[in-house]
Amino acid sequence: MSAQRKTSPWSMQFSTLTIVLIPVAIGINYVGKLIAAALKLPLWLDSIGTVLAAMLAGPWVGAISGAANNVIFGLTADPISFWYLITSIAIGFVVGYLAFTGWVSSFGRAVALGFIVGIVATVVSTPINVILWEGQTGNVWGDALYAYLVGNGWPIWLASFLDELVVDIPDKLATVIVSYLILRALPERLASLFAGGRDQVERL
Amino acid sequence: MRVSLYVPADTWLHRLDPMTKLLMAAAGVALTFVLARIESGAVLWAIFFTVLGTGRVLRQAGSVFAGVGIIAATFLIVQGLVHPTNATPLIILGPVVFYKEGLLIGLRLALRLYNILSATLVLVLATNPADLTEALVRRGAPARLGYVIMSVLQIIPTMVAQSAAIADAQRSRGMETEGSLWVRVKAFLPLMGPLVTSSLIATEERALALEVRGFGSSARPTFLKPEVRPPHAGLVRIMCVLTLAAGVAGRLLLGW
């Protein structure tokens, strides 16, 4: 039953184990958001599962976890999340690919990865925000910045980008760091079962 | 604790087959973007209200609407204050001026938010996720996708219960969950770490259990229950298509 050894990060052979990982990743996303809300943290922290799945099992599983996450919540609990599907897919791809190429090999690199994910999430979300909501994000802090910038004559696209950026950078930074710390603490055997990034990196 | 907003009941909306409700939601979302004017958006919302009301899920829809009330209010405030086309002052509160143009744009965004929500809620509130999943797999969606959806809905309540137990255990060891931001940030990892580790460890066992039950088989699954499509489903489908067509025609010809 052991997961297939993958030679490329883009291998699309999914074992039963990687399929089982997807709902668990979505559950982790959900509980992460719940705990962050219970602790009244000013962050969403709702993509830890997607990031971990991508780190463990590669970009495709990461992207599928992200997509399934937003589709399922879109259809059951939070209809608006459906529209940010592409953002979740992008996060899964980016983390999965970069984890394979050594970006989770040290704490410093994980921090850099967090910044990259924050920027990618912002770049992908901004057009969605502009098309749907004239560039607002619905986040009070981000929208306050948006109001200030547009009020001073900045173009909507740029204001929207910065609106999303101030929210996404801290959030994705924290998400990736938490995921990295959990990944480090996982038993070695478990991490290599999923034949994901770390296993490859260490063999290289 | 349940993830899904589905409310079981026995109304015309609940009796409809999932694919018809999916069509209603899709037509509703499409109409939200087709119709440009505020008045037509309001008419669309009134239609959703009627559907949700006769489907007896209006109360649950109301609590979802209230949940995004702050976002809708932000649209009005921000666009009313700073939208680039603002020219006509409408409300003046000391130094704060709300403009007519921006308020109308904010109102349109809020209506769009509520219309998208309502369209999706027609499906979400009145459809059992298990039925929807089965209908999709019947029509060729991968059975593994069906597993993922159903599994998520079962896993989440378990994980939430488990996280409560972990929180109690960590608190009894002296973990602080209230206080300054840093104290609360520090509490996140001890709460999340054990939960993630134990759920990942459980995946191996679950994968084994699934494989011995033929999960890896590529044969098409059969279904326990036959699919039932009530007699009024055809009518509802035709109404959806006609309403959408009327909306497109109205927009193109009359500027709705």
- Rounded CA separation B206/B148 (Å): 13
User: Is residue A71 in a domain?
Assistant: yes
Residues whose CB is less than 8 angstroms from the CB of residue B186 and which lie 6 or more positions away in sequence, other chains included: B176
Measured CA to CA, the distance from residue B59 to residue B76 in angstroms comes to 25
Task: Determine the 3-state secondary structure of A82 from DSSP.
Answer: helix
CA distance A60 to A9: 8
Chain B residues closer than 8 Å to A187 by CB:
197, 201
B196: chain A residues, CB-CB within 8 Å: 28, 48, 52, 182
User: Residue A4: inside a domain, yes or no?
Assistant: no
Q: Which residue of A has its CA nearest to B163?
A: A31
Locus of tokens 């200030």: A148
Please state the rounded mean pLDDT for residues B164-183: 92
Give contacts of A15 with chain B, Cβ < 8 Å. Answer: 207
Mean per-residue pLDDT of chain B: 92
Which of B78, B145, B210 is the closest to A20 by Cβ?
Answer: B210
| Mean pLDDT value across residues A101-116 | 94
Q: Which residue, among A129, A139, A138, has the nearest Cα to A170 in the 3D structure?
A: A139
Provide the 10 A C-beta neighbour count for residue B193: 17
Model confidence over B200-255: pLDDT tens digits? Answer: 999 989 999 999 998 888 887 788 888 889 999 999 999 999 999 999 999 999 98
**Residues A14 and A25: beta-carbon distance below 8 Å:** no
Is A91's pLDDT higher than 70? yes
Question: How is residue B16 annotated by DSSP?
Answer: S
Is A66 contained in some domain?
yes
Q: Is B63 helix (H, G, I), strand (E, B) or coil?
A: helix
Q: Which of A26, A41, A146 sits opposite B78 (nearest CB)?
A: A146
B-chain CB neighbours of A186 within 8 Å are: 197, 200
Counting the structural domains of chain A, the total is: 1
Q: Please check whether residue B212 touches A, CB under 8 A.
A: no
Specify the pLDDT at position A146: 94
ipTM of this predicted structure: 0.86
| Alpha-carbon span B153 to B86, nearest angstrom | 46
Provide the pLDDT for residue B228.
Answer: 86
Q: Cβ contact (<8 Å) for A34 and B160?
A: yes
Whether the predicted pLDDT of A197 surpasses 60: no
Q: What is the CATH number of the domain that holds A81?
A: 1.10.1760.20
- A71 pLDDT exceeds 80? yes
The pLDDT mean for chain A works out to 88
- Rounded to whole angstroms, the Cα distance separating A92 from A51 reads 6
Instruction: Please tell me which of the candidates A21, A42, A82 has its beta carbon nearest to residue B203.
Output: A21
Element (H, E) at A109: helix A107-133
Range with lowest mean pLDDT among A73-77, A183-187, B71-75, B139-143: A73-77
Exposure pattern of A61-81 as b/e (b: 16+ CB <10 Å)?
bbbbbbbbbbbbbbbbbbbbb
Residues of the domain holding A62: 16-203
Whether residue B109 and residue A39 make contact (CB cut-off 8 A), yes or no, is no
Residues in chain B closer than 8 A to A147 (CB atoms): 77-78, 81-82
Record: contact A151-B215, CB cut-off 8 A: no
Please check whether residue A142 lies inside any domain of the structure.
yes
Residue A143 counted as domain residue = yes
B159 touches chain A (CB under 8 A): yes
- Residues in chain A with CB shorter than 8 Å from the CB of B79 are 134, 136
> Confidence band (pLDDT; 50, 70, 90) for A3?
very low
Helix (H, G, I), strand (E, B) or coil at B138: helix
